[in-house]
Amino acid sequence: MDWDDLRVFLAVARAESLSGAGKRLALDPATVGRRVARLEVGAGARLFLKSPLGYALTEEGARLVPHAEAAEAALMAAEEAITGGAGAGLSGQIRLGAPDGCANYILPQVIRAICDENPGLEVQIVALPRVFNLSRREADLAIGVSRPQAGRLTVQKLTDYRLHLAAHPEYLAAAPPLRTLADLAGHRVVGYIADMIFDKELDYLTSLGATAPAMASNSVSVQLNLLRAGAGVGVAHDFALPFAPELVKVLPAELSLTRAFWLIRHEGDAHSARLARFADRLAQGIRREVQRLEAQSPAVAAQDA
């Protein structure tokens, strides 16, 4: 089989469409379709079934995927061996998927430091409030808020992080007293849109027994800015609070949540020295940055001190 045709096959399998694969490969859809057809003739098997929803792998196509990915990994390893060993700087493009809280408040500092050390490296941060599909190559690596339980993935824990209730002092001054968690019933709560919570680890309010938030967003940064505007009280990441110095923690003795970040990679990339070196540097940087930011703890609301 021709590697170039296998490369097209993988792109279609991941994008589930000719046009999506064409965008990734800088080829027009018609060319992608011809290459797939050529591969199917050579393999003597139908690899995709076309439907209104796109291109789905047949049983034969699904069996070909791990072998195509192994060829892809071998080619990447060969390129790394030619361009430089472990002592060489990182180069090329790496796409990193992350939830928007991590992407907004932690990764800018970490990625800047990595790119300062490796001028030939280009890092793309994809900040989306959802789980990334590495099998479709939406990203080279992804950061998650829970450990995946399925899929051909390698996973490592990066660090724990903490969250507390927070609010603007002006909101607290105008609102009813907030001395216990039960008092939240009389307050405007800021949180996630319930049907857009993409991971159970983010369902903070249900664990508090709180009702649906009066003001909600699927974005951590929007929630934080609602709190900064005095919209109400809500759960905030400790690592984000230094970026909102006007906020204060509320009831920290009664509510202190701990969650974790996980670094997720496709199993087929296990032998990529380049991604392994980037992952090591990323993990070190995230741990240090979370510790640094959480050490800048804001004041506790006076009524709760």
- In sequence order, which residues have a C-beta less than 8 Å from that of residue 298 and are 6 or more positions away? 166, 241, 242, 245, 247, 248, 249
Domain boundary among 59, 83, 107: 83
Domain co-membership, 300 together with 196: yes
- Tell whether 137 and 280 lie within a shared domain: yes
Cβ(189)–Cβ(210) below 8 Å: yes
Residues 44, 15 share a domain:
yes
Has residue 275 been placed in a domain? Answer: yes
User: Which residues on neighbouring strands pair with residue 155, listed in sequence order?
Assistant: 264
Pairing state between β 141-144 and 257-266: antiparallel
Q: Where does a domain end: 32, 58, 83?
A: 83
Same domain, 300 and 201: yes
User: How many structural domains are present in the chain?
Assistant: 3
Residues 6+ apart with CB under 8 A from 190: 213, 214, 215, 216, 223, 226, 227, 231, 232, 233, 234
CATH value at residue 30? 1.10.10.10
CA 134 from centre of chain = 11
Q: Do 288 and 221 belong to one domain?
A: no
Same domain, residue pair 33 and 144: no
Quick check: pTM over 0.85? no
Question: Which residue range(s) make up the domain with 282?
Answer: 96-156+261-294
Last residue of some domain: 83, 106, 131? Answer: 83
What is d(CA 141, CA 281) in angstroms, rounded to the nearest whole number? 13
Using CA atoms, how far residue 10 sits from 47, 62, 126, 274, in Å, is 11, 10, 21, 21
Same domain, 148 and 265: yes
Residue 166 shares a structural domain with residue 241: yes
Residue 89 counted as domain residue: no
CA distances (Å), origin 172, targets 94, 177, 248? 44, 8, 10
Q: Provide the Cα torsion 165, 166, 169, 173; round to 10°.
A: -30
Q: What is residue 240's predicted lDDT score, i.e. its pLDDT? A: 97
**Does residue 73 share a domain with residue 216?**
no
Q: Helix axis angle, 3-15 relative to 59-83, nearest 10°?
A: 120
Same domain, 177 and 248: yes
Residue 239 belongs to domain with CATH number: 3.40.190.10
Check whether residue 145 and residue 279 sit in a common domain: yes
Provide the residue count of the chain.
305
The span from the CA of 223 to the CA of 56, in Å, is 38
Residue 88 covered by a domain: no
List the chain pLDDT tens, one digit each, 305 residues: 778 888 898 889 888 899 988 988 889 999 999 999 999 999 899 999 988 888 999 999 988 988 887 777 777 666 656 655 555 578 888 989 999 999 999 999 999 999 999 998 999 999 875 655 655 667 789 999 988 877 778 899 999 999 999 999 999 999 999 999 999 988 999 999 988 888 888 888 877 766 678 899 999 999 999 999 999 999 999 999 999 999 999 999 999 999 999 999 887 766 678 888 999 999 999 999 999 999 997 767 655 44
The closest alpha carbon to 285, from 146, 127, 158, 162, belongs to 158
If asked whether residues 276 and 128 sit together in one domain, one would say: yes
- Whether residue 91 lies inside any domain: the answer is no
